[in-house]
Each structure stands twice: as structure tokens, then as C-alpha cells.
């Protein structure tokens, strides 16, 4: 078990932390939350947590191995840096860079650029066979000033997730009701999907959730009642070279599946840009929960997006599901979206 720190995006007050926890739970990793603020989450977890959070997290910038934490005071920071056994973190002839950033605002007496140079000098004194490389280092040491605290650690490589290349208008098949890829990735994670399970999106639309699942190496199934959406989803999946998703035409209320499903992430149609084929969103969701019970495994998870006014939490009590968590996202004047994670049983 190691201590890790995660720099969260700060785009939403609850989703980033919930997503990190869900990623670890999906792989059945034991972990302990040590401390959390709006932008920093500190955890104790096995080594595998590092790669999982960096590769899967949508609302986390990066995860690092914690080396030390202290008050955000230059003398205290440098004093601790001098006590570190840098041979444990850097091998002979490796290159490195030191980066310091401030998050969360507030006044601080820490000069980031000066601190980078000072810590870099301390490391070189202890490891003279190593050298600084700011462009392409073997190791990146990151310091984060948040409030009156400072955390410092090792980040092997900052992840590149390229969400901007997968926004709705960048896809060859576009529909205005499509989810943003970052939220879709988060929903995949909140469903506790893993490589040992098959993810289902019964309202797949343009395939955004399936694409994000595929990029993570997860197998998925997607269906839609509309031929144009099935065809468009396949076009988008091919464009992003996702080969581990199978899309077919079907009614989400009459799914032709014989095996139990463990994970569902989905964004049913609602709003002016989506076609509900004359059926209200409320009715669609009520019938969905009534029918999905037949194919969900015990303790299976569903991550669902819906308008806040539908009140999914009240609706599902009659169908044998319980709410694990909810998150609200303001979209525009007429729509506040609710992300709900529910469990069968």
C-alpha cells in the first residue's frame, strides 16, 4: 500500500472524487481516503491504483506517489526535500523535472518557480549522476500548493486523454443531444465497469459511451431503436478505431439478451434535441427500470443521466434498486442534468 495524491479537475464539486473511488471499486482494490479537498484527494492504496486512475479518470488531471506533505512554507518544504532519499526515487543517469503549481486560489508565500529550482538543486546534490530535462524527463516531480498545505510527489507521466478530439462536433456522425466525452467517460467509471465485465448502453445514440469504454479497453454492447443512430454509432466507433463494441438495433424496453448484465451506463433521450418518439422521458425511465430488472445481475450497477425534474431516486424504489449516489450538472436554463448511480438489490 502506498500514499497517493490525485489532482482533481475542479470542474464539478462531487463527480471527480466519486469517479476516483468508483475506479478503484471497479477493480476491487482496497483503499482508504486519507484527506480530501475540492482539488486534492489523498488515498492509501495498492500500486495498481496509480495506473488505473491516470488511465481511466476523466475528472482527474493526474495521480502521483506522495513523497511528503507539509505546510506551504518555503523553509519547511526545502527542509523536508533535503531529508528525502532521492536514490529511492531516481536511478543513476535518469533525467527529471520539478514542477510546482498552485490550485484553489488564496494567498501564499510560496514562489513556484523559485521552489522548482531549489528542489531541483537539492536533487542534483544528492544524485549528481542525474540531470534536469524539462522537455522529456524520465521522472516528473510535482508539487502542489493548496490553501496552506503543500504536497510533493512523483508522477511518472502525465496522462493525455484527448477529450477535445472526441467532442460531438468532431465526430463524423453528429447529433446535438450527444454527451460530452468527459462526462461519458466518467459515467463508464461510475458504473464500476471493468475488463472482467461487459458494459451495456441501451440508448447508445451516437456511441459516445461505447467509444469511451472502448478506449479504456472495456467490452461493450450498445443498442438504439433508431436505424440512423445505430448506423451513426458504428461510423463513430470505426472512426476512433474502437473494435471491442457491438452495436445493434433494439428497443431498450425489450432487450434480446440472455445473459445477465453487471454494468450499464446510459443517457436516455430527453430534451428538445432528442427524439423520444412521442413518449415522455418519465414513462421511458419507468418502463426501463421495470424491464431492466430482468437482465441485471445481483448488485449490478447502473449509471444514468436524466433531467433532475424526473426524480429518479423516488421512481426506482418500486423496482428493487437503491440509489448509491447522485450528482447534478447545470446544462442551461431549461435543463439541469442528474447523474444517478443505482444498484440492484
Domain boundaries, the chain: 2-155, 163-344
| pLDDT average, residue stretch 94-117 | 90
Residue 271: is its pLDDT beyond 70?
no
Q: What phi and psi values does residue 103 have, to the nearest 5 degrees?
A: -130, 150
Strand ranges in the chain using DSSP code E only, listed in sequence order: 2-8, 32-36, 40-45, 60-71, 95-103, 131-132, 139-146, 149-155, 198-201, 219-224, 245-249, 261-266, 296-307, 321-332, 335-344
CATH architecture of 163-344: 3-Layer(aba) Sandwich (3.40)
Give the global pTM: 0.93
Residue 141: is its pLDDT beyond 70?
yes
| pLDDT average, residue stretch 53-63 | 97
Rounded Cα–Cα distance for residues 340 and 288 (Å): 14
Comparing CA positions, the residue from 57, 52, 48, 42 lying closest to residue 3 is 42
Point out the least confidently predicted range of 7-11, 102-106, 230-234, 237-241.
Answer: 102-106
Residue 106: is its pLDDT beyond 80?
no
User: Would you say 308 and 337 are in contact if contact means Cβ atoms under 8 Å apart?
Assistant: yes
Residue 302: is its pLDDT beyond 90?
yes
pLDDT at 273: 45
pLDDT grade for 241, boundaries at 50, 70 and 90: very high
**Could you tell me the fold of the domain covering 2-155?**
VC0802-like (3.30.2130)
Cell output for 49: 491504483
User: Would you say 8 and 42 are in contact if contact means Cβ atoms under 8 Å apart?
Assistant: no
pLDDT at 278: 61
pLDDT at 157: 83
Q: At what angle do helices 181-190 and 15-26 cross, to 10 degrees?
A: 50
Amino acid at each position: 500500500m502506498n500514499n497517493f495524491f490525485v489532482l482533481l479537475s475542479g470542474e464539478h464539486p462531487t463527480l471527480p472524487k466519486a469517479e476516483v473511488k468508483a475506479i478503484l471499486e471497479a477493480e476491487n482494490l482496497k483503499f482508504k481516503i486519507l484527506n480530501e479537498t475540492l482539488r486534492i484527494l489523498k488515498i492509501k492504496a495498492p500500486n495498481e491504483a496509480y495506473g488505473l486512475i491516470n488511465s481511466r479518470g476523466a475528472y482527474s488531471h493526474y495521480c502521483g506517489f506522495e513523497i511528503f506533505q507539509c505546510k506551504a512554507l518555503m523553509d519547511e518544504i526545502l527542509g523536508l526535500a533535503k531529508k528525502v532519499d532521492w536514490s529511492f526515487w531516481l536511478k543513476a543517469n535518469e533525467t527529471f523535472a520539478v514542477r510546482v503549481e498552485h490550485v484553489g486560489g488564496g494567498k501564499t508565500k510560496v514562489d513556484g518557480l523559485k521552489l522548482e529550482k531549489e528542489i531541483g538543486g537539492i536533487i542534483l546534490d544528492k544524485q549528481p549522476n542525474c540531470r534536469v530535462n524539462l522537455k522529456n524527463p524520465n521522472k516528473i516531480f510535482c508539487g502542489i500548493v493548496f490553501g496552506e498545505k503543500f504536497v510533493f510527489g512523483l508522477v511518472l507521466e502525465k496522462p493525455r486523454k484527448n477529450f477535445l478530439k472526441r467532442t460531438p462536433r468532431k465526430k463524423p456522425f453528429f447529433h446535438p443531444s450527444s454527451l460530452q466525452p468527459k462526462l461519458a467517460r466518467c459515467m463508464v467509471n461510475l458504473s464500476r465497469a471493468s475488463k472482467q465485465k461487459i458494459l451495456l448502453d441501451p440508448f447508445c445514440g451516437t456511441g459516445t459511451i461505447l467509444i469511451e469504454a472502448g478506449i479504456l479497453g472495456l467490452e461493450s454492447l450498445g443498442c438504439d431503436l433508431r436505424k440512423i443512430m445505430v448506423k451513426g454509432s458504428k461510423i463513430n466507433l470505426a472512426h476512433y478505431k474502437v473494435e471491442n463494441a457491438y452495436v445493434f438495433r433494439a428497443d431498450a424496453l425489450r432487450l434480446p439478451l440472455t445473459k445477465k448484465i453487471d454494468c450499464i451506463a446510459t443517457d436516455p433521450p430527453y430534451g428538445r434535441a432528442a427524439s423520444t418518439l412521442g413518449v415522455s422521458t418519465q414513462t421511458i425511465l419507468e418502463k426501463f427500470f421495470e424491464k431492466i430488472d430482468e437482465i441485471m445481475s445481483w448488485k449490478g450497477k447502473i449509471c444514468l443521466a436524466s433531467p433532475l425534474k424526473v426524480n429518479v431516486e423516488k421512481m426506482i424504489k418500486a423496482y428493487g434498486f437503491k440509489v448509491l449516489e447522485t450528482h447534478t450538472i447545470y446544462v442551461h436554463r431549461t435543463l439541469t442534468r442528474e447523474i444517478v448511480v443505482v444498484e440492484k438489490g
